[in-house]
Chain A
Amino acid sequence: MVDASLLTNPVYFLQNLVDGLARGAVYAVFALGFTLIFGVLDIVNLAHAATYMWCAFAGWVVMAVLNMPLVVGLLAAMLFGGLIAVILEFIAFRPLRQEGAERLAPMISSIGVSIIMVSLAEAQFSSQTKKFPSEVLDPKPLYLGGTDGVRVSWAQLLIVVVSIVLMVALGYLIRRTRTGKAIRAVAYSQRAARLLGINVNRVVVVTFFIGGVLAGAAGILVGLLTNNINPNIGADIELRGLAVVILGGLGNIEGAVVGGLCLGLVETFSIAYFDRGSDYKDAIAFLILFLILLIRPNGLFGRQEANRA
C-alpha cells in the first residue's frame, strides 16, 4: 500500500476518479467500435487498433502540420477512421465472406492488415514520438476547488465531452433510427434481414464506417491526452479493448461502455493505491477481469443473444 495519509485524502480519491473516468471513457469509445463490428458480423477486427493509431497520426497531421483548429482535427481523424474501416471491409473481409471462408479467417486477415498498417506508419512517420504544439490544447489544467483541488486537463475534459456525445449518438442511432434497426436486424440474422428487403452488404459497410469513426475518435483523444503518438500506440489499447468487449459481453453496446469505464478506473486506482502500482496495473486489471468472467462467463451484460448490437 502507498503512504497511509493518501488513503484518507478525499481530493486524492476524487483526482483518481476523474483520471480513471477519462481513461475509461476512451477505452469505452475504442471498445464500442470493436464490439459493434463483432455484434453485427461475428468478426474480431484486429485491425481496429491499427486504425486507431493511423487516426491519431491523421489528427496530428491536420492540427500540428496543417495548423488547423482542434474541431477540424477531431472530425478529420474520425472521418479518416471511418474511411479506413470501409476500405478494410472491401479488401480484407468481404472477399472472405463471399467465399464462405471459415470463422477464423477474417481475424487472421485483419491481423495481416494490421501488421501492414503499422509498417506503413513506421515508414511514413518513423518510430519517433510525435507531439502536439501547445496551441492545440492549453497545457495548463483547470482546478476544481482551488489549486489544492482536483486537477482536470483540457484533454480530459475534451475526452469526457466527446465520449459522452459519441455514446449518446451511437445509442440513438442504434435504437431509434431506420439504419440502426437494420443494423440490429443484420446482427440477429442476415437471412431474416435479407427477407425484409435489407441490403446486408450496405448495412455492413455502414457498420464498419461507424466502427472506424469510433476508433478514430479514440485515437485522436488518446493522442491528445498522452501527447505521445507513435506507430506502436495501437498495441497498448488493443488487448484492453478486447478485454473490455469480453468484460461487457461480446457485441453488447452498454457492456462496452461500462466495461471501458471499469477498466479505466481499476487501472488508475491500482496505480494510485498500490505500491509500484504502475508496474502491476495490467496484472491487477486482468486479474479482476478474470475473476469477473469466472462469475459471469458471458460478461457483465452478456445475456446470450438477447442484447446484441
Chain B
Amino acid sequence: MLEVKNLSVNYGSIEAVRDISFQVPEGKIVALIGANGAGKTTTLSSISGLLRAARGTVIFQGKEITRWPTDQIVRAGLAQVAEGRAILSPLTVAENLELGAFIRHDRAAIRQDLEKIYTEFPRLAERRSQLAGSLSGGEQQMLAIGRALMAQPKMLLMDEPSMGLAPIIINQVFEIIKRINLGGTTVLLVEQNANKALKISDYAYVMEHGEITFHGPGEVVRNSAHVVEAFLGKG
C-alpha cells in the first residue's frame, strides 16, 4: 500500500535519513523502531509532505506522492497522528474531532462516525465541550487517534503514540491501534517503545542513525540479538 524507495531527507544541514527503503502492505501493522534521533519522525514527516525529500520516492496506492502538498496527501487517505499529539488545545474536543473530518463532505456519515468515536472513547464524549488543552496526556492521545479516524483514512501513520503516557494507558493505546487495524486500516507505527510496538506488528524495520539496519517479521525482530541489545535491554 505504501512503498518508500531510496528515500533521503535532510533536516537542516544534516542528512537525517539516508537512502532508506521499506514497504507497508495493505491491512498490516508495520513498525519503524529506533532510538531518539534515528530519523523516524523525519521519515514520517517526509511521507506526509511536511518535509521535502532530498532523493527517493514515496508511492501510496500506486501513485507517486513524493512532492504532493500535505493536505492533498491527507485527502488521498494517508492520515498522521503526529508526535506530541498535535491536538488543537484552544479548540474543544468536539471541534477537534469535527476538524478531523475536514476533508469529508458527507455530513450524515460524519455525524455517525462522531458517535462511533464517542462510543469507542467514552472519556471524549464526557468532555466533548471542554478545551482539548485541558485533557490529560492519555485523553489527548485518544483525541488525536479519534480525530485521525474521523478522516476515514486508508492508512494511519502513528508517531510515538506511547510517548509521555503512563504504562496502563500505553497498553490501552496499543490495544486501540490493534483494533483500528482489525477494522481494516493499515498502520505504520513509529515507536521508541520497541517491545510493545513489536508485539502488535506484523513486520518491523529498525532505524539507526538515519538508516535501516535490520528488518523482519515483528516476532523475529523482537528476538534478534542485535535489537535486544540495542533497544530492548536485558529484560
Interface residues of chain A, those whose CB is within 8 Å of chain B, are 178, 181-182, 184-185, 188-189, 191-192, 194-200, 305-308
Contacts and interface: CB of A to CB of B under 8 A. Distances in A.
Contact of B90 (A178, A184, A195, A200): A184
B99 A305 contact: no
A188 B131 CA distance: 13
B102 A198 contact: yes
B232 interface: no
B99 A182 contact: yes
B93 to A, nearest CB: 13
B46 interface: no
Contacts of B50: 191, 194-195
Interface string B82-101: 10001111110001001110
Interface stretch (B32-40, B69-77, B164-172, B203-211): B69-77
A195 B88 CA distance: 12
A195 B74 contact: yes
B99 A195 contact: no
A253 to B, nearest CB: 12
B105 to A, nearest CB: 10
Nearest to A178: B102
Top 3 closest pairs, chain A to chain B, by CB: A197-B74, A197-B103, A194-B70
Given A185-B99, A196-B99, A196-B151, A191 B71 contact: no
Given A191-B50, A192-B82, A197 B89 contact: no
Contacts of A194: 48-50, 69-71, 74
B133 interface: yes
Contacts of A306: 89-90, 131, 133
A306 B88 CA distance: 10
17 contacts: A185-B91, A189-B88, A191-B82, A192-B87, A194-B49, A194-B71, A195-B74, A195-B79, A195-B86, A196-B102, A196-B103, A197-B71, A197-B74, A197-B75, A198-B71, A199-B69, A306-B131
Contacts, number: 72
Contacts of B89: 188, 305-306
A229 to B, nearest CB: 39
Interface of B: 48-50, 69-71, 74-75, 79-80, 82, 86-91, 95, 98-100, 102-103, 131, 133, 147, 151
Contacts of A182: 99, 102
- Counting chain A CB atoms within 10 Å of each CB, the highest count among B48, B88, B147 belongs to B88
A208 to B, nearest CB: 19
B86 A181 contact: no
Contacts of A197: 70-71, 74-75, 102-103, 151
B183 to A, nearest CB: 20
Given A181-B99, A197-B102, A192 B151 contact: no
B88 A184 contact: yes
- Counting chain B CB atoms within 10 Å of each CB, the highest count among A192, A194, A197, A306 belongs to A197
A195 B150 CA distance: 13
Given A196-B147, A197-B102, A200-B71, 14 more contacts: A181-B91, A181-B99, A182-B102, A184-B91, A189-B86, A189-B88, A192-B86, A196-B99, A197-B71, A198-B71, A199-B69, A305-B89, A306-B89, A306-B90
Nearest to B91: A184
A87 B95 CA distance: 31
- Counting chain B CB atoms within 10 Å of each CB, the highest count among A181, A305, A306 belongs to A181
Contacts of A184: 88, 90-91, 95
